[in-house]
Structure 1
């Protein structure tokens, strides 16, 4: 019966140990050069779908709305916008968390290039909420007619029309950012690149281009400190993984 055990492979150090039978087992510990894709494509497409649903619902609801329900078309569109905004907020929270995990795994350049994209839609819709709140106050104070009646003799626009204009402006501004975000993530996943901290030019990434002789660049203390903080966070994450693997190897040695 073969009593030889399989060589144990861990991440972090390299050495040689002897098992019970005297055979040598090589422990190779290096970080795996594997890619960690971002699983946020469905969430981004869901956000894009919500941006399409918002203006479509804004134009269809006044047509099919029944006043006997007790609410006006104006109130119905307000509720619609708040519901879409709430779902976008949850999607933004999830996408932001995945980007943060990607940063911890070492993808600093990608995180910095997309750090504003995953929050832009939420900020735009939050601004839309403010505009709709102000619009509701103006309608209550200055529009004596219904939600589909014109508020002014000179302007033939009803309160619902102002809501529809707000919806269209939000969508026109937000959709390009969502599409750009989708393109970035698709390219990132397709490239299957290892983390930035495994690159050969890690010193260049951390210290900046101005540290090389003959290369001039803008000196930014905040940028250097931010990159150093990113590196410390990655090292802390790796140390945690190494501690778990050392504990697992210790248990295996005690049981053998």
Structure 2
């Protein structure tokens, strides 16, 4: 009876499908990466040639812009996290699980890029600043340009993959996973676990991950209902006193 009542409340709160509005943020992320690639190739032409000197050399400017790029990706990651958290609370557990890694990948990649960038700066400073032979192979900007280009291209690929999944999810407008019979069936291993071989351990891990997300959802959902009940109880108490 209690579970039936909870399901009715959940249905009432999820009658209307709400799209995950993260497409603009992901597009901005891809644009930031594209801008980084453009700067990596344009700045040396604008600032490092004789007669075209800038206040700072292109190497320094690229380091500063990469720091700003990381801050932008961090802000976008927080926006995506908030939107997907709301979607998970709405019962869309499979979409949350499916996009969890690819959603966070750009932030981890750019953070790793910052670490590699720091190493590049230190190594080039120690080996090349006092060694004229470095200028005959690759310049410091060349190394930095290669790292930024590789990092940005991988992030753009992650963004494109995410956009494809997001558009498919928003277009289907499916009901919450917790209300779908096929999802409920998919999280039960039952007696099949003994017949599953070692080559299918990934399927077991996938089911266990879905079960973990369902437990998290039910916990958050129970806490939300508890807060609503407490608020209603307080309101009723105030009315009785009045």
1:163-214, Cα deviation, whole Å (9 max, x unpaired): 11111111222211110001111111111111111112453144x2x22779
Pick which of 38-47 and 218-227 moved more: 218-227
Greater helix share, structure number: 2
Contact 2:22–2:80, Cα closer than 8 Å, also in 1: yes
79 and 231 in structure 1: CA distance in 2 versus 1, 3 angstrom threshold: closer
Q: Count how many residue pairs are aligned between Structure 1 and Structure 2.
A: 225
Distance in 2 separating the partners of 1:231 and 1:30: 12
Q: 1:97 aligns with which of 73, 82, 88?
A: 82
244 and 53 in structure 1: CA distance in 2 versus 1, 3 angstrom threshold: farther
Alignment of 1:92-241 (within 5 A): 92-144=77-129, 151=134, 153=136, 156-206=137-187, 208=188, 210-211=189-190, 217=196, 218=201, 219=204, 222-223=208-209, 226-236=212-222, 239-240=225-226
Distance in 1 separating the partners of 2:210 and 2:145: 46
Pick which of 196-205 and 164-173 moved more: 196-205
Q: Give the structure, 1 or 2, with the largest relative contact order (CA under 8 Å, sep 6 or more).
A: 2
Displacement of 1:157 after TM fit?
1.2
Q: 1:50 aligns with which of 32, 47, 51?
A: 32
Contact 1:106–1:234, Cα closer than 8 Å, also in 2: no
Rg larger in structure: 1
Distance in 2 separating the partners of 1:37 and 1:128: 32
Contact 2:113–2:151, Cα closer than 8 Å, also in 1: yes
137 and 213 in structure 1: CA distance in 2 versus 1, 3 angstrom threshold: closer
The equivalent residue for 1:35 is 17
238 and 36 in structure 1: CA distance in 2 versus 1, 3 angstrom threshold: farther
**Where in structure 2 are there 5+ consecutive unaligned residues?**
none
1:65-117, Cα deviation, whole Å (9 max, x unpaired): 25452x22211111111111110111011101211111111111011100001
Flag as ranges the 4+ runs of structure 1 deviating above 4 A: 212-222, 244-251
Q: CA RMSD in A?
A: 3.5
Contact 1:62–1:73, Cα closer than 8 Å, also in 2: yes
Contact 1:104–1:230, Cα closer than 8 Å, also in 2: no
Distance in 1 separating the partners of 2:42 and 2:76: 25
Residue 46 of structure 2 corresponds to residue 64 of structure 1: yes
TM-score under structure 2 length normalisation: 0.78
